[in-house]
Structure 1
Amino acid sequence: MKKLLFIIFIMFSFSALEAQNLNDYKYVIVPESFEFSKEKNQHQLNSLLKFLFEREGFETLMNGESRPEDLQRDNCLGLDANVIEDSGLFTTKMRITLEDCRGNLIFTSEEGTSREKDFKKAWHEALRRAFESVEALNYNYKADAPPATPATPETPEVVEEPEVATEVPQEEKTTPETPEEPEVVVQSEKISEDKEPGTLNFEKDGTYFQLQENENGYALYQKDMSEPFALLIRSKEGKSFIYNSVTRQGIASFSENGDLVVEHFDASKGVSVKTIYQAKKD
């Protein structure tokens, strides 16, 4: 019995230590591709990992994006994310790892698995299950924590939002039709159509959507789905939002009549695409 309690204590202490370690880091850098991928962002796996880290509260950017000023001064404020695949014939297996600026392994997730035959569904399911280990740590960045590198200056508290507006040129013409949002795994919980405090209801093409307010802005849900497919991060001015979903980034704002307007740049067509979610009247 004492041996069992000792093992449980050690496991709990190790988990708490991992959480403490992650709380000391402000950024997560996601690569554009993984070693097992055949192309950049194959099956939107890299975008999904970025989305999951952002939803958990990390400030996340793709490798190659312009870096915030404090991260340029001290790259040890960030962790490099990676996904390790060890799949068998019938099972897809993935682990998420985080390394510091010196290449030291800071965190390794539990193994996420999937038996889906479709590659995209299998990768997404295995990654989401592996990410549950990150969610369990309840990440909360310590703004007053000492820098990861002893000799580096303290990090400023205010960080500029990532520039997304340059991806949506104003001079480009919009197209009438908009690609559908990526499929989100449906959970057993359902979102009520009734308007609750802090929520806004919308409709588009006969489908109902809901914005739920949070400390950073809003989370956008589709009816009957328990997790958001997009986040709206409030800009400094407060009049617009950075729109970030699994597959795209853009700008969101509210029209005079309360409609939600989302614009993103479609690189394949070279145009700016506008999506309008009509405000649902009570």
Structure 2
Amino acid sequence: MKKITVFTLMLAGIAVLGQKVSDYKYISVPEKLKDFENKEPYGLEALLAKGLAGKKYIVVQTLKDWPAEAKDNPCSVGYANVSDNSSLLKNKVLFEIKDCNQKLIFSAKGASNIKSFKEGFQDALKEAIVAVPVSNPVEIVQTVKTEPVSVPSENKSETAPSSSVSENKSEKYTNGKLDLQKIQVDASQFILAESGSSVPFAVFKASSKRDVFRVKLRDGSSTIGYFENGNIVIDMPQSGGDFTKEVFSGK
């Protein structure tokens, strides 16, 4: 066995397990909360944005309006949502913030005895926002660390893969409706292309977080994508600022 030195990127900040919501600078608030989109306007989105701004977070909404820092690293953004958690006697909400991998990093409940839906839900949300800690963002820093890696001497020409992109062996993916070809452009970029189309279905560019990519869709919209259990997942933008999870499995 012969030892060679391989440089690997070790991410601080957002890559650290046990991330706290106060570590985040940006919080994304939907333009329309899903649980309330078919109901009369309660003003919860504006109230949530105002409450988070009061806690020193920078609130972002439509992806096209995100600042460059957030677009370049979608995993530096926390994603907020408010659900209707009401009982027969009280208006209740469940307020959650998740990271880019949908891991829960903050949760709080609020309840109100006010019977009016609009005033009651607003009162409940205000109670939940009180529990949010003030933003104290952690600087996202990349440091380089050298690690010895053992490889067989007969494979001297081989190097360890620099990205998890190369670990995925399948070149064809489908979501049951579309059959796409994965084309590796370089170590940090690949595309998903539909046969017969001159425009790629999606272009993936590596972010600062392993297995998470900045994605440009063929309609021009931007979102994030990531690897999950050997599949390629894209958060597909929907009207109103929501996202749906689209899973493409290797064929």
TM-score of the superposition, structure 1-length normalised?
A: 0.42
Instruction: Identify which of structures 1 and 2 has the higher relative contact order when contacts are C-alpha pairs closer than 8 Å and 6+ apart.
Output: 2
TM-score of the superposition, structure 2-length normalised?
A: 0.47
